[in-house]
Amino acid sequence: MLECHSCQCQKVMEAKCFDFIALNEKLNDVHLEVAMRLKLELQNWSLSFSSWIEAQRGFVKALNGWLRRCIVYEPEETADGVSPLSPGRGGAPLVFVILNKWSEAMDKDKLSENEVVEAVHGLVMSVNRVVEQKNTDMLQRIVADKDMEKKVKMLEKEGQRMQKLLQARAKKITRFAREERDVLLPRDTTRHSDIRDAGSWPYGLKQIFRAMEKLATHSRQAYEDIHNCIEDSKAPQDNP
């Protein structure tokens, strides 16, 4: 996955034609439809990606929580308060140690998808500016075109549906609720000074794949640490 996102990031950085729609003032109906569909796809991807990460995190933590019920744990008072549960220190089987370490690796403060979601949100805002700012006259003109009007209404309806999904997703978040809600809901909070420097579509794509590359790097490191933990635990058994 890391190699894949690194390659994607490099290809986007080498591309020269992504800004055609964003920079060209003479946009036609096809460009408008493509931009609106792109916005919807980005929002859907952001929602799906965030849900995918949360599903993994929820699975690991649920499994770890179930296993921890099988451990007889007596809280140990320390100078810093009650020490956290450590299956390895308590002599628990290897599977308990691995699941606990895996659960810790999936914590939001160690492996967070927020940077990726923020990057997608930035590109959504860039596309949204193209649709809303540069094409106001086109949106008025297409009313006379019944086919195009139907397409736009359909896309707007899909956008409203996506907005409801994003809102429902944000309401389910208990930890980091305010932070993720600001990221997930498509609300333009970009500073005007940032629009000039970071408003291009290539920049937005670069930010997405850089964030994906960073997340993949952290994920690989986390699983390498878990693998090393397994190997270290097996070593005494192989050499009694």
The per-residue pLDDT for range 143-159, each reduced to its tens digit, is: 555 565 666 667 667 76
- What local confidence, expressed as pLDDT, does residue 81 receive? 54
The per-residue pLDDT for range 194-240, each reduced to its tens digit, is: 434 445 777 888 888 888 888 888 888 988 988 888 888 776 655 55
Q: Which of 165, 152, 144, 184 lies closest to 37 in space, CA to CA?
A: 152
- Contact (Cβ atoms closer than 8 angstroms) between residue 3 and residue 221: no
The per-residue pLDDT for range 40-99, each reduced to its tens digit, is: 888 888 888 888 888 999 999 999 888 888 776 565 565 665 445 555 555 667 788 888
Q: Which has more confidence, 85 or 168?
A: 168
- What local confidence, expressed as pLDDT, does residue 62 receive? 92
Q: Tell me how crowded residue 239 is: count the other CB atoms within 10 A of its CB.
A: 6
The per-residue pLDDT for range 31-40, each reduced to its tens digit, is: 777 777 888 8
Q: Residues 29-33: contacts with CB within 8 Å, 24+ apart? A: 29/138, 29/142, 29/145, 29/148, 32/131, 32/135, 32/138, 32/139, 32/142, 32/152, 33/148, 33/151, 33/152, 33/155
- What local confidence, expressed as pLDDT, does residue 98 receive? 85
CA distances from 4 to 45, 46, 115, 209 (A): 17, 18, 18, 10
CA distances from 229 to 73, 84, 85, 206 (A): 22, 19, 17, 34
Q: 77-78 and 81-82: which strand pairing?
A: antiparallel
The per-residue pLDDT for range 3-22, each reduced to its tens digit, is: 665 665 665 555 555 554 55
For the entire predicted model, the pTM comes to: 0.65
Helices of type H across the chain:
2-14, 20-23, 29-68, 94-105, 114-133, 136-141, 146-172, 177-184, 192-198, 201-238
CA distances from 235 to 161, 227, 229 (A): 54, 12, 10
